[in-house]
Chains A and B, each alone.
Chain A
Amino acid sequence: MSYISDQMSQRQLASDRGAAHAPVTMADLERGDRARVVSYGDDVAASTVRRLFDLGIVPGAEVEMVRRAPLRDPVIFRVADYEIALRSAEARCIRVDLAT
């Protein structure tokens, strides 16, 4: 691995240890809901968290649930000015704040 990817792989992204029980995640959003990304789940693999960050799903970013697939999964979200499809498994990794 190069120096740069070494650096990148050591990036830290905080999770919320002191969060409220049963936090709201992106997987809980309904069609048209807007929310702000707060943090990432506790048990999520660090590589997944860094990838979500690099996809623009960063703390403070605004997300909007656009639509679900006919079989309920995956789900299309609008975040960082573009649309991305995530499966519920990944969406559950991202904690959001619905109050806007």
Chain B
Amino acid sequence: MTGHHHGGGSVADTAGLRRFAVVGSPNSGKTTLFNALTGLHAKTGNYPGVTVARFEGTMRLGDQTVAVEDLPGTYSLDPISPDEQIVVDVLDTKHHADGVETPDALLVLLDATTLRRSLGLLAQMLQTELPICVVLTFTDDLTRRHGRLDTAALSRALGVPVVAVANGQRNAVSALRQAMSDVDSWSSPVVPPPTATAEVTAWVESVLIAADYQVPDVDVRTRRIDAVLLHPVLGTAIFVMTMFVFFQTIFTVAAPLQDYVEQFFGWLGELVAMWVPIPWLSAFLSEAVIGGVGGVLVFLPQIMLLFVLIALLEGTGYMARAAFLMDRVMAPAGLEGRAFVALLSSVACAIPGIMATRSLPSAKDRLATIMGVPLITCSARLPVYILLIGMLFDSADRVGPFSAQGLVMFALYLFGAISALTVAAIFKRLTAGTGPVLPFYMEMPPYQMPRLQSVAAAVTTAATAFLRKVTSIILATTVMLWVLLNLPPRSDAELAAASVDTSDDAAVSAFVIDHSYAASIGRAVEPVFDPLGFDWRINVGILSSLAAREVFVATLGQVAAAQNPDEPRDSLAKMRVETGPDAGRLLFDPPTIAALLVFFVYALQCMSTVAVMRRETGTWRWPALAWVYMFVVAWLMALLAHTVVASIR
């Protein structure tokens, strides 16, 4: 699924064009073929009313433009999941939902190495009476593994045209393009195949004999690799190591790239400060716009790297093995191995994690996993954790042989993972009892060399989608927050009356922020956050972090009126509560820090995640629910943490 484009919300405008639909079982090479046919002219959306992604594109055949739709992979027209129901609905000439048209012709993909099974699906497809062209994939694998097939004889036996494609390369699809240009010449079976089970099995056997089908040998390479990668001891060890390398790579390799992006935006901000004459506009541009966008773009290297790694793992076929190894671990939470892959992807960012849930056939699993994913410790929480843990413990502090800071960090990661699984389990249980239980099965495809083109396509289009969709929200929110923090503007007279040195920019901005609309809001919500030990300044930080977690650190910096906004730690550590019964107490004392940390573990402070949740589930209901329940849980758990830590002291 990562081979696909996650582009704009609406599907390509294909009204009036001749429509082809690509159907086939999962792992039959559909995505590769679809990409080869439509190039980068594909768009994604959702089918109406369901949480199933829709991929549609256009291609030129001679002087005509045609629409090509990649229907979800299915094993049967006897549907067991919402994805498969979509295939049935689209192919049903009597089914009319908005924007879902029956295709004019079908390209049925059959894996040449698993023809015995694939022909069963074709037998069902032939019942639709739509023009069908069989596309044979993996014919090169068939030959390599000493299999044999007479495509002309197969075509004769089936009564439909058969085109072989190898590896979905551009030139390899030329025969297919030719066939697609001449749909009217496609033959159809003189008598459709039987549907009753014993008869279909017999039909398949007869066709295979007529086509001179020689079953390929077992893929020796895959067997050998699996003997190691799925070995009970060695395989598990390699898996753990792979996960470790996965995490490490994301943080250590992405870090320098992130630095460059941050530097670039810092430089851009300076440029603006130099060249834009109007001070408020300059501040607006550099802090809200560039700061906001920069805050998002800093993610980009990490996201891209993550997509590359995931695309590689999936392209080789290793993801199926990872899901296989982790299935038993996921079972107590009511989930399956593929959910692990989605949770794993969330370590860098919840967004790819949510998108990875598309690999789960069960709609309930998908939803439950989507609800749990935001609790996995994502990279956005790191700056906050680092800041707060630094205030709690010194880097030299030790608990036994371990660094106290490291221990807390590890505990937070563990906390996040356990919470995510628990939440997913709860949601799974809540939605249980509606519909039949889905049997678990997972095809283990042979290992392959991941196609560079597919990996590149996955990365670039995922990155563009991320940028496009997410920047709009982040930008809007940071602009709004900047406005709230910097209004109402204070005149020199007001500043003088409050004994603020107008030449000291830091002091001026501190005063403005202190008396800004945001501050009023921060003070207004004090009753909510008082029990957690927060004051209005932390409240403003929390409110601003609702856009994106890292904003918390920058906002606190502004609010602390620190001389060095990039090292707010010093002045933050010295902050004291100003008013109320607790006046005089250190603001960032251990109970408050503990409460803050725990709050960040649970609260959904990421508008981008909310936006993606909305897109993946097709409704505002689930992201709204997630936001509310996570806020409540965050508050309760933070209170618990505060009470526990306060009682220890």
Q: Are the C-beta atoms of B437 and A45 separated by less than 8 Å?
A: yes
Cβ A81 vs Cβ B436 within 8 A: no
Q: Say yes or no: B440 contacts A86, CB within 8 Å.
A: yes
Q: Does A72 belong to the interface (CB within 8 Å)?
A: yes
A: residues with CB less than 8 A from B are: 1-5, 7-9, 11-13, 45, 47-48, 50-56, 58-60, 66-74, 76, 78, 80-87, 89-90, 93
When the two chains form the complex, which single residue of A13, A51, A85 contacts B76, counting CB atoms closer than 8 Å? A51
Cα(A51)–Cα(B585), bound, Å: 65
Given contacts A51-B76, A51-B78, 15 further A-B contacts (CB under 8 A): A11-B196, A47-B78, A52-B439, A53-B120, A53-B197, A56-B117, A70-B235, A76-B226, A81-B113, A81-B115, A81-B116, A81-B215, A82-B113, A84-B444, A85-B443
B 426-446 contacts with A by CB, 8 A = 436-437, 439-445
Q: Which residue of A lies closest to B201 (CB)?
A: A58
Q: How far is the CA of A89 from the CA of B439 in the complex (A)?
A: 8
Contacts of A52 in B (CB 8 A): 439
Please pick, from B78, B88, B226, the residue contacting A54 in the complex, using a CB distance under 8 A. Answer: B78
A12 touches B441 (CB 8 A): no
Instruction: Tell me, rounded to whole Å, the shortest Cβ–Cβ distance linking B254 to chain A.
Output: 31
Q: Using CB atoms, name the residue of chain A closest to B327.
A: A74
| Across-interface contacts of A67 in B (CB, < 8 A) | 226, 230
Tell me whether A87 and B327 are in contact (CB under 8 A). yes
Q: Is the CB of A72 within 8 A of B328?
A: yes
The answer to whether the Cβ of B91 comes within 8 Å of any Cβ in the partner chain is yes
Provide the residues of chain A in CB contact with B327, threshold 8 Å: 69, 73-74, 85, 87
Contact of A85 (CB < 8 Å), options: B78, B233, B442 = B442
Q: Do residues B124 and A8 form an inter-chain contact, with CB atoms below 8 A?
A: yes
Let me know if A7 and B127 touch, CB within 8 A.
yes
Q: Quick one: given A2-B88, A5-B88, A69-B324, are A74 and B440 in contact (CB under 8 Å)?
A: yes
Q: Which residues of B contact A80 (CB under 8 A)?
A: 114, 116-117
Closest CB of chain A to B120's CB: distance in Å?
A: 6
Question: What range describes how many residues of B lie at the interface?
Answer: 35 or more
Shortest Cβ gap from B122 to chain A (Å): 12
Supposing A80-B117, A81-B114, A83-B444 touch, asked if A50 and B439 sit within 8 A by C-beta, the answer is no
A74 neighbours in B (Cβ, 8 Å): 324, 327-328, 337, 440, 442
Q: Which of B91, B331, B436, B439 has the most CB of A within 10 A?
A: B439
Residues 75 to 97 of chain B near chain A (Cβ within 8 Å): 75-80, 88-89, 91-92, 94-95
Q: Take A48-B439, A82-B117, A85-B324 as given contacts and tell me if A8 and B444 are in contact as well, using a CB distance cutoff of 8 Å.
A: no
B318-357 contact mask (Cβ, 8 Å, vs A): 1 or 0: 0010001101110100000100000000000000000000
Q: How far is the CB of A63 from chain B (nearest CB, A)?
A: 13
B195 at interface, CB cutoff 8 A: yes
Whether the Cβ atoms of B117 and A55 lie closer than 8 Å is: yes
Check if B226 sits within 8 Å of A55, measured CB to CB: no
- 15 residue pairs of the A-B complex, CB under 8 angstroms, read A4-B91, A8-B195, A45-B437, A50-B76, A51-B439, A54-B120, A56-B114, A56-B120, A59-B201, A66-B226, A73-B327, A74-B324, A81-B115, A82-B445, A85-B441
